[in-house]
Structure 1
């Protein structure tokens, strides 16, 4: 096994291994969601989709810690790195405990809000939340040090455990489906912590950050938190609002639509993960990072265009193969949803690029159009098609705004 690993390292760079791993993880997560849709059917799948959406929301919140750790692990010298990471673990754990406790306390209210069959799934999910924040700080540490192979393993372990445990619980134990999904998600957080990057130097840990460094960390953290909030609004508000406004059966159909359409976002996320530490390193060295941005924009544009074209040309085939006959009514919406997601994925890489350069205006832009999306869905939700068109309008406008900002910055 070790010999195979060494051989792979000789053939592929760590970055290439991470990209391949990201494809596998996204594929596994996609298979997980598709399998749930087929096994549970639209009604029960609506509840499972709420947990999956909450997991996505949690990942965005925790990404604030991961990106901050990745950025400053790259920027700080070795004497400061471990002191910073140790502090990040303490703060992330504290925040995770508070957020998890809030979810447990308000589990009954969440059940009422999202019209789910049980509140137990929210309780289990809330108990596991602190683990996710510990996992995210560890990933940020690995990402900032460009330990992409170890970073790949953490994502692989989380995906494999969640996939295997969910279907084992559903197929071999007579328990409620939402409880099975929540339990598997919780245990997968434990698996995702490994491999854990330990703090090794006591001397380094004792090296305190200066007030200037602490201020820089806080500023970036706040900026990132604001942008991750816009990510939650843009990426998850539609499913939550549909679950609130529509019956469970329709909400389950919409959740399947979202999972198919969002393949663009999940496939392109790996480029964002590689972009941030690269841009930070290039700025530190005084190099122009725009060519790197354009390279990743080209990759995402090519991938997104192919997926959108396929979903417009063969929507029924895609739905039939992925979810089955009982979900066929959402086929006419698939291309439009994939288009909205593509707009968001492209605008997202511009926002993260400027976030890594400490520019805050793209965050404000994303927030404005994220709120616009919510307002449009609240005003226009007579049908699922209206909900999808609202997102096309909002996310298309967001991409135009981000491109205009990029053009403005380049002509200065």
Structure 2
């Protein structure tokens, strides 16, 4: 009660509440992964890592719908807004059903490609895909309208339900762990739909002019392309390692990736706040660069702290988080954290320009995402070499993004 009184007296804004919520959600998701890593051991955790990676891939795909909804929720009002949201829900459901059916039909082939113990885990996951797409549109409305309280609740609902249900099933039932994990993920999607505001949707169709429709379509295509690059950069390494290496090594690498990506998951919180803020500032004719500098500074500082911590206490971090079975990855921890840190900073630049409808940084990310994947495909003699390839790709990406920003800023100044 005393804590609640203090929070009320401080008058915490919805943005601050959302940032706190994201930290809790990321902490809960981390706890979920850490417990699975300890309970299952490296070999079985490799299977779990495939499902978790599929979940991340799905989140990036659905993020296209969320960002499109968020952007135009800022710009549209009244009947046009409701009609637009209904259209996005309809398209999201179509895409979600298509992707889900695809995963179910090719579940056996997916089992072979990723060397998993079960195809059923992919089938169950596929059933949940349409719900995730609907959930993302719902979140996009909350994000665009800056209803961060409801946005926080939907993320909390998904995280808590997945954690409680998965761990509960593991202890209560005696079936394959990969199947249990997929069931927990499926049920969490249903909880993630809450809260759902019916008032945001209207079956009544309100016409949107052709130029605006073209703007929506172009932004959707641009965002879809960028989220594809996110999928490649964020997840291709784990899937390729699962393909090229034995389950034990793949499980070790999965633990490395999970710890090293802390900075990226924190950066995501700022991205969620960045997009609607930049769009609103642009709409009002105000300067947008200061908000970029602010968030780049935050992420760079956080990344530096995490990399230094990983470099100074690698064995301690791995032992505490995953246990002694994963200590072989200690020498690579700071290197992987450095790669993800550079990617996190680059990501802020890309989302900033995405908010301003500028395409080149998105294309740059796509090029270097493919470069990273190709480097790992051709150079994977050891896990260390895989990490080194990612560092090369991410250093190059960050340098190019900074050069583009300098060039773009100078061009604007000269034009003015």
TM class, shorter-length? over 0.9
How many positions carry a matched residue from both structures? 410
Query: In the alignment, is the contact (CA less than 8 A) between 2:300 and 2:345 conserved in 1?
Result: yes
Q: 1:208 to 1:160 in 2, by over 3 A?
A: same
Question: Does the CA contact (< 8 Å) of 1:169 and 1:180 recur in 2?
Answer: yes
User: How far has the Cα of 1:197 moved from its partner?
Assistant: 2.1
Q: Distance in 2 between matches of 1:190 and 1:64?
A: 20
What is the CA–CA distance in structure 2 between the aligned matches of 1:284 and 1:266, rounded to whole Å?
28
> Any idea what SS the aligned residue of 1:208 has?
coil
Matched, 1:306 2:315: no
Cα drift, residue 8 of structure 1? 3.7
- Counterpart for residue 85 of structure 1: 85
Q: Distance in 1 between matches of 2:51 and 2:7?
A: 39
Distance in 2 between residues matched to 1:254 and 1:7, nearest whole Å? 41
CA shift in 2, pair 1:343/1:407, >3 Å: same
- The alpha carbon displacement at 1:77 in A equals 2.6
- Kindly report which structure 2 residues correspond to 1:26-65, keeping only aligned pairs within 5 A, or say none: 26-65=26-65
CA deviation after TM superposition for structure 1 residue 211, in Å: 1.1
Q: Does 1:208 align with 2:207?
A: yes
Deviation per residue, 1:170-214 (Å, 9 max, x gap) = 1111111000000000000000000112236758x4312111111
**Residue in 1 aligned with 2:20?**
20
Match of 1:96 in 2: 96
Shift of 1:76: 1.5
- The reply on whether 1:111 has 2:116 as its aligned counterpart is no
Call closer, same or farther: CA 1:86–1:9 in 2, change over 3 Å.
farther
Q: How much has 1:334 moved relative to structure 2?
A: 0.2
Distance change >3 Å, CA 5–CA 125, structure 1 → 2:
farther
Whole-angstrom CA distance in 1 between matches of 2:223 and 2:262: 24
TM-score, normalised relative to structure 1: 0.97
Following superposition of structure 1 onto structure 2, how do residues 7-406 of structure 1 map, counting pairs within 5 Å? 8=8, 11-199=11-199, 202=202, 205-406=204-405
* 1:48 shift after superposition: 0.3
Taking only aligned residues, the RMSD between alpha carbons, in angstroms, comes to: 1.5
CA-CA distance at 1:78 after TM superposition: 2.3
What CA distance in whole angstroms lies between the structure 2 residues aligned with 1:396 and 1:303?
Answer: 17
Cα-to-partner distance string for 1:147-166 (whole Å, 9 max, x where unaligned): 00000000000000000011
Contact 2:128-2:189 at 8 Å conserved across structures: yes
**1:23-64 CA-partner distances (Å, limit 9, x unpaired):** 000000011111100000000000000000000000000000
Structure 1 residue 375, shift from structure 2 partner: 1.0
In structure 1, list runs of 5 or more residues that go unmatched. Answer: none
CA offset digits 1:76-114 (Å, max 9, x no partner): 232311110000000000100000000000000000000
Match of 2:414 in 1: none
- Flag the 1:410–1:168 CA change in 2: closer, same or farther, 3 A: same
Deviations 1:216-274 (A, max 9, x none): 10000000000000000100000000000000010000000000000010111100000
TM-aligned CA deviation for residue 337 of structure 1: 0.2
CA spacing shift, 1:209–1:32, aligned 2, 3 Å: same
Distance in 2, matches of 1:8 and 1:144, equals: 25
The 1:9/1:340 distance shift into structure 2, 3 A limit, reads: farther
Mapped contact 1:169–1:175 kept (Cα < 8 A): no
Q: Is the 2:92–2:134 Cα contact (8 Å) retained in structure 1?
A: yes
Q: Distance in 1 between matches of 2:305 and 2:92?
A: 39
TM-score after normalising by structure 2: 0.96
Stretches of structure 2 that go unaligned for 5 or more consecutive residues are: 412-416
Give per-residue Cα distances to partners, 1:284-337, cap 9 Å, x unaligned. Answer: 000001001100111101111100010011111110110000000000000000
CA contact (8 A) 2:74 2:279 kept: yes
Which 4+ runs in 1 deviate beyond 4 A? 3-7, 200-203
